[in-house]
Amino acid sequence: MECIFCKIANNEIPSEKIYEDEKVIAFNDLDPQAPVHVLIIPKEHIKSIDEITDKNSDIIGKIFIIAAKIAKEKSLDNGYRIVNNCGKDGGQTVEHLHFHLLGGRKMNWPAG
Ligand code: AMP
Ligand code: ZN
């Protein structure tokens, strides 16, 4: 499988992992856009939100619980942003579902 996030999940390429359980991992983004920039992904290869169904949707709730936990650990007490880019116009560059957890600075809105 040529998917870079599957390789990170399988420890085939290195990452700064900050959380791992049976179904989910979180690691620091290589090109951080904020003082805290963590990617949270399912270990299972799901291409994007477009592939979420009644059968696999549990993982989304799990990811958000983990995101809030990481935000607390990172002391993002003033708030944070969780982003999912879906498809070309959404700005998705890695075709393995992932959520960005961004914090440590004031975010702009609307996002560009
Ligand atoms: P997106 O543009 O939403 O698909 O986000 C992909 C993110 O993955 C970008 O923020 C990249 O900086 C990040 N990224 C790409 N390769 C790696 C890697 N090997 N380790 C950590 N983050 C990565
Ligand atoms: Zn993958």
Residue 49 Cβ < 6 Å to ligand 1: no
**Domain range 4-103, its CATH number among 3.30.428.10, 3.40.50.2300, 3.90.180.10, 3.40.50.300:** 3.30.428.10
* Cβ burial, residue 39 (10 Å; 0-12/13-18/19+): buried
Q: How many A from CA of 61 to the centre of ligand 2? A: 19
Residue 95 Cβ < 6 Å to ligand 1: no
Minimum-distance ligand to the CA of 6? 2
Measure Cα distances from 50 to 5, 9, 73 in Å. 17, 21, 30
Over its length of 112 residues, how does the chain's per-residue pLDDT go in tens digits?
699 999 999 999 999 999 999 999 999 999 999 999 999 999 999 999 999 999 999 999 999 999 999 999 999 999 999 999 999 999 999 999 999 999 999 999 998 7
Chain centroid, CA 26 distance in Å = 7
